[in-house]
């Protein structure tokens, strides 16, 4: 009969489950409505269906096995009354009554304990939905591992599934062994008793004789208990044997015993043979455990377990250690060469480094002003504005109201008035935390979205040292005919993290206009329609706000928007992909604002490929050895509509996901040409590839082993921050005829500062995704970024000018040092910003240009180039002509003189006599040079 206390326990359990499950149910229902709204309900139902099926299957199986073993233990000791054997020397009626009461409680708790264990096992099983679905939808790689000749898909999809099954099997057998043994012990079928040499069923007979003591206790098992537990132990060893064959042997290819990732000489010639023997050994142990059932003593079981332990130690540790120390270590390069080659090839394949195009530069080119003018488009797109100073400037000039924020700067390129221009842009997003009145109506119904953006070319500066703005103000106005914004509202962005309700009776703020505010109604299909009172109540429970239910402003036609943050939104829809850290905004030709979010398929299961830490994105601390930028997600900033484009058709991982979630992904060819012109090579992926390429550009095993040609990425300290010199730019690559948008990084030899190579990732559609490495001759000294930075710091004129600015209380901000490839050579450019004491707006005051041993700091890039190379930089309309070798006389001279004089007079008005003297000196030098 079930006691009242047990009923109370059940009630308490139901209450606790309700507390935890009901909120999850609300989230589940609202997520279902959200997936329906975005048009990807198949992703929701596929994942949920897999979780429910696996959870129920694993949970029911676990309950049946666990409770079945408890029930079997009860049946095997029947039919005598169930009493627990009291300890020797104890036999009072009170003791027996207490023990019987304990037994009754055990019987009462057997069912709930089994249910709880089954429930949590089912939850764990449900969490493996992705592993199971990938196994049943696997797409082959078409590449085999070098040791076992299995397709790489086996390691990506089959092996994790087998590990899941084996892990579940171990758990069920071990927990069954524990509950069965406990059940037998509590029923008196297993007891400790004083051991003698003639003990029947004693586990360790004979040990007492060796030790010569009568106090030794031995384990006594009744026959039914011995049979039951022996079968479970035998199953455990059989599963261990299968685990060695199906899991441990393939996992050798992830080993790290050698100087690289992958199976080493010792793994193949010592560990692998041992594991094959161990498969047989564990099977023999299982047989001996079964045979031991029919023996009166347990000597056979002890022998089997002892042999198992001895083989494990000698074969799994002693012999490999001896082989490594006395055979491999003295001849490591010779022994490990084949396996090093496997590691090189696998790593290059896993990170797409096998597709890098390597080109050698002669290194003999001497740049002239003619070369500069032939690469006018490159010069015109040199980025003079760094992201941090520009973000500060945008914030001071264009936030307009305190509740608007610019939180990041995006780098992109546009065709503007016939020119290919690199630009920096930032969306103007709404920050509800900064609202002057933070009420429910203001935060949720009125102030719902950001508005417009600010866009600036990377190289243009006003006479005041501020950026030229192509897009600015509210509503957005454009100074470029081919660039405009017709739908400036930003409901979905990087800052939009809270839920809002649109199409309500409350006025929805659109943007400020002088002393009045402009209001508008939402015209899109974004958000989930409220529809009914029931759904209204559901959202009130989901977001913990009773005001949703009670508000008269929220009508059935209202739409509630949630998951508005771009990364959160994409991650909710595609939980199986890893996201790039930086989504970026695009202005389409129609004037719409759309986000592009790069997404990756990653894995740590590529055999022999080097493992690296995920230090750049959303999975800190997780190792990976395979990555592809397989998906590009486009998100509309107005209605939140998402489209998932497959960007890498050769990736079997994304092909597998496409089979699982049918009709969710579309080919990249279906992307609008306007959007396709703005896709770019992801910086996260480029960072992984360049980090590995520093070592894995070495193809020969001997060079790789000795690290003879290892590179490093130069890092320049700038104040308290470091700059890794990775840049987007528009330039004409050596041997190419047209400028293009690229992502570039330089390399220096390990431990040295001179430049050895540079790599680019090409972004424009025709060559998108192509990696090219340009190598300088080893005998040629090419100054690296650190050396140039030191030379700039040591230049007397530059140091003097910067010191004068610092002494007057102004803050000098040194911009990023830019490495600009021109022809087959390099020039370096560094902008210098000046911020007044107490001010917040940095102004671009000088540009430094360095080439070989020549360094100049002037007010503009063109003047600095002229100072370094001689001659003059021709205007755009003369870009096709050859520049003269010497400075031109006439309008160019007059304009330069006028600029120096105007700047000197401006400095005089401000009382900046140091700058006044500097400008007058330049004016005098210019006039003297033209005499």
pLDDT tens profile 566-582: 999 999 999 999 999 99
Which of 12-21, 25-34, 246-255 shows the lowest mean pLDDT across its residues? 12-21
Query: Concatenated DSSP letters for 202-246?
Result: BSSTTHHHHHT-S--EEEEE-HHHHHHHHHHHHHHHHHHHHHIII
The pLDDT of residue 894: 62
The average pLDDT across 800-805 equals 86
Of 872 and 145, the one with more pLDDT: 145
Q: Tell me how far apart the alpha carbons of residues 639 and 492 are, in angstroms, rounded to a whole number.
A: 8
The yes-or-no verdict on residue 602 having pLDDT over 50 is: yes
The yes-or-no verdict on residue 16 having pLDDT over 70 is: no
Burial of 210 (0-12, 13-18, 19+ CB in 10 A): exposed
The average pLDDT across 227-239 equals 94
Q: Do residues 420 and 481 make contact, with C-beta atoms less than 8 angstroms apart? A: no
pLDDT in tens, 854-882: 999 999 999 999 999 887 776 655 444 33
Of 747 and 802, the one with more pLDDT: 747
Residue 622 banded pLDDT, cuts 50, 70, 90: confident
Three-state DSSP class for 747?
strand
Q: How many CB atoms lie within 10 A of CB 908?
A: 14
The pLDDT of residue 206: 41
Q: Tell me how far apart the alpha carbons of residues 828 and 848 are, in angstroms, rounded to a whole number.
A: 8
Most confident of 525-529, 878-882, 914-918: 525-529
Q: Tell me how far apart the alpha carbons of residues 656 and 605 are, in angstroms, rounded to a whole number.
A: 15
Which of 44-53, 90-99, 354-363, 369-378 shows the lowest mean pLDDT across its residues? 90-99
HSE value, Cβ hemisphere, 13 Å, CA-based, for 487: 19
Which distant-in-sequence residues (6+ apart) come within 8 Å of 154 by Cβ?
250
The pLDDT of residue 718: 61
The yes-or-no verdict on residue 93 having pLDDT over 90 is: no
The average pLDDT across 406-423 equals 92
The average pLDDT across 252-273 equals 90
The yes-or-no verdict on residue 204 having pLDDT over 50 is: no
DSSP state, residue 544: T
The pLDDT of residue 198: 41
pLDDT in tens, 707-731: 999 999 988 776 555 566 788 999 9
The pLDDT of residue 78: 53
Which of 66-80, 154-168, 868-882 shows the lowest mean pLDDT across its residues? 868-882
The pLDDT of residue 621: 55
The pLDDT of residue 906: 66
The average pLDDT across 10-36 equals 79
The pLDDT of residue 81: 47
Q: Tell me how far apart the alpha carbons of residues 126 and 120 are, in angstroms, rounded to a whole number.
A: 10
Task: Find, among 331, 337, 238, 332, the residue nearest to 290 by Cα.
Answer: 238
pLDDT in tens, 304-358: 788 888 888 887 788 889 998 999 999 999 999 999 999 999 999 999 999 999 9
Residue 914 banded pLDDT, cuts 50, 70, 90: low
Q: Do residues 290 and 234 make contact, with C-beta atoms less than 8 angstroms apart? A: yes
The yes-or-no verdict on residue 743 having pLDDT over 60 is: yes
The yes-or-no verdict on residue 892 having pLDDT over 70 is: no
**What kind and span of H or E run contains 857?**
strand 854-858
Q: What is the dihedral of CA 893, 895, 898, 899, to 10 degrees?
A: -110
Which of 14-28, 163-177, 229-243, 276-290 shows the lowest mean pLDDT across its residues? 14-28
The pLDDT of residue 778: 84
The average pLDDT across 601-613 equals 94
Which distant-in-sequence residues (6+ apart) come within 8 Å of 364 by Cβ?
780, 824
pLDDT in tens, 667-691: 999 999 999 999 999 999 999 999 9
The pLDDT of residue 68: 93
- Please provide the average confidence, as pLDDT, over all residues in the chain: 86
Q: What is the dihedral of CA 622, 624, 629, 634, to 10 degrees?
A: -10
């Amino acid at each position: 009969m079930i006691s009242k206390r047990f009923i109370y326990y059940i009630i308490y359990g139901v209450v606790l489950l309700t507390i935890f499950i009901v909120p999850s149910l609300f989230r589940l229902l609202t997520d279902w409505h959200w997936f329906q709204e975005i048009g990807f309900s198949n992703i929701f139902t596929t994942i949920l269906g897999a979780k429910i099926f696996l959870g129920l299957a694993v949970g029911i199986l676990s309950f049946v096995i666990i409770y079945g073993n408890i029930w079997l233990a009860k049946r095997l000791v029947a039919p005598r009354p169930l009493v627990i054997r009291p300890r020797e020397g104890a036999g009072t009626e009170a003791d027996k009554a207490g023990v019987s009461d304990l037994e009754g409680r055990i019987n009462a708790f057997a069912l709930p304990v089994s249910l709880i264990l089954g429930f949590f096992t089912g939850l764990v099983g449900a969490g493996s939905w992705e592993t199971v679905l990938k196994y049943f939808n696997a797409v082959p790689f078409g590449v085999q591992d070098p040791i076992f000749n299995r397709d790489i898909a086996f390691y990506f999809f089959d092996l994790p599934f087998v590990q899941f099954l084996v892990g579940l099997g171990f758990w069920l057998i071990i927990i069954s062994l524990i509950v069965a043994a406990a059940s037998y012990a509590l029923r008196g079928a297993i007891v400790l008793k004083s051991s003698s040499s003639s003990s029947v069923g004693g586990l360790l007979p004979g040990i007492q004789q060796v030790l010569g003591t009568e106090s030794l206790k031995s384990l006594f098992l009744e026959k039914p208990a011995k049979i039951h537990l022996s079968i479970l132990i035998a199953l455990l060893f059989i599963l261990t044997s299968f685990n060695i064959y199906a899991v441990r042997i393939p996992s050798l290819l992830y080993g790290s015993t050698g100087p690289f990732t992958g199976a080493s000489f010792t793994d193949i010639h010592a560990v692998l043979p041992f594991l094959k023997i161990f498969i047989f050994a564990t099977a023999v142990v299982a047989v001996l455990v079964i045979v031991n059932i029919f023996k009166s003593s347990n000597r056979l079981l002890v022998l089997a377990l002892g042999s198992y332990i001895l083989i494990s130690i000698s074969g799994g540790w002693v012999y490999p250690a001896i082989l490594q120390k006395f055979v491999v270590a003295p001849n490591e390069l010779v022994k490990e060469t084949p396996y090093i080659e496997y590691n090189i090839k696998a790593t290059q394949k896993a990170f797409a480094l096998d597709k890098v195009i390597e080109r050698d530069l002669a290194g003999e080119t001497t740049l002239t002003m003619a070369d500069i003018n032939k690469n006018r488009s490159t010069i015109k797109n040199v980025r003079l504005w760094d992201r941090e100073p520009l973000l500060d400037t945008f914030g001071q000039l264009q936030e307009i109201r305190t509740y608007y924020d610019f939180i990041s700067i995006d780098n992109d390129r546009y065709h503007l008035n016939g020119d290919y221009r690199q630009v920096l842009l930032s969306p103007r997003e709404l920050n509800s935390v900064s609202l002057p009145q933070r009420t429910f109506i203001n935060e949720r119904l009125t102030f719902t979205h950001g508005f417009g953006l600010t866009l600036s070319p990377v190289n243009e500066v006003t006479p005041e040292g501020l950026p030229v703005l192509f897009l600015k103000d509210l509503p957005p106005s454009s100074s470029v005919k081919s660039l405009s914004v017709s739908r400036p509202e930003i409901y979905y962005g990087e800052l939009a993290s809270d839920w809002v309700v649109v199409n309500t009776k409350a006025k929805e703020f659109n943007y400020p206009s002088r002393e009045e505010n402009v209001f508008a109604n939402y015209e899109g299909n974004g958000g989930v329609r409220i529809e009914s009172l029931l759904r209204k109540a559901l959202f009130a429970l989901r977001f913990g706000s009773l005001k949703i239910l009670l508000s008269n402003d929220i009508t059935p036609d209202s739409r509630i928007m949630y998951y508005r943050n771009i990364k959160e939104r994409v991650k909710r829809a595609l939980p199986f992909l890893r996201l790039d850290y930086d989504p970026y905004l695009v202005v389409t030709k129609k004037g719409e604002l759309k986000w592009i979010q790069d997404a990756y398929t990653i894995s740590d299961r590529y055999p022999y490929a080097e493992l690296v830490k995920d230090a750049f994105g959303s999975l800190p601390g997780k190792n990976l050895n395979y990555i592809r930028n397989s998906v590009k997600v486009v998100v509309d900033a107005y209605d939140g509509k998402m489209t998932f484009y497959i960007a890498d058709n050769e990736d079997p991982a994304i092909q597998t996901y496409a089979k699982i979630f049918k009709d969710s992904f579309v080919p990249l060819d279906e992307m609008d040409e306007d959007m396709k012109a703005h896709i770019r090579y992801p910086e996260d992926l480029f960072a992984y590839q360049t980090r590995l390429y520093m070592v894995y550009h070495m193809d020969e095993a001997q060079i790789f082993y000795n690290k003879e040609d290892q590179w490093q990425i130069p890092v320049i300290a700038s104040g308290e921050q470091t700059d890794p010199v990775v840049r987007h730019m528009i330039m004409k690559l050596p041997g190419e005829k047209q400028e293009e948008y690229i992502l570039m990084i330089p390399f220096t030899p390990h431990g040295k500062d001179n430049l050895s190579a540079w790599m680019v990732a090409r972004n424009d559609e025709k060559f998108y995704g192509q990696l090219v490495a340009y190598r300088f001759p080893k005998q040629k000294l090419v100054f690296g970024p650190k050396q140039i930075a030191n030379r700039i710091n040591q230049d007397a004129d530059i140091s003097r000018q910067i010191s004068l600015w610092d002494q007057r209380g102004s803050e000098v901000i040194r911009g990023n040092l830019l490495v600009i490839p021109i022809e087959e050579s390099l020039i370096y450019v560094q902008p210098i910003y000046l911020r007044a004491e107490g001010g917040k707006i940095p102004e671009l005051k000088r540009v430094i240009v360095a080439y070989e041993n020549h360094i100049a700091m002037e007010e503009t890039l063109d003047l600095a180039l002229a100072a370094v190379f001689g001659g003059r930089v021709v205007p755009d309309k003369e870009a096709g002509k050859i520049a003269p070798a010497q400075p031109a006389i006439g309008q160019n001279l007059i304009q330069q003189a006028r600029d120096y004089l105007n700047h000197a007079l401006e400095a005089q008005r401000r009382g900046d006599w140091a700058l006044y003297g500097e400008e007058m000196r330049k004016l005098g030098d210019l006039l003297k040079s033209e005499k």
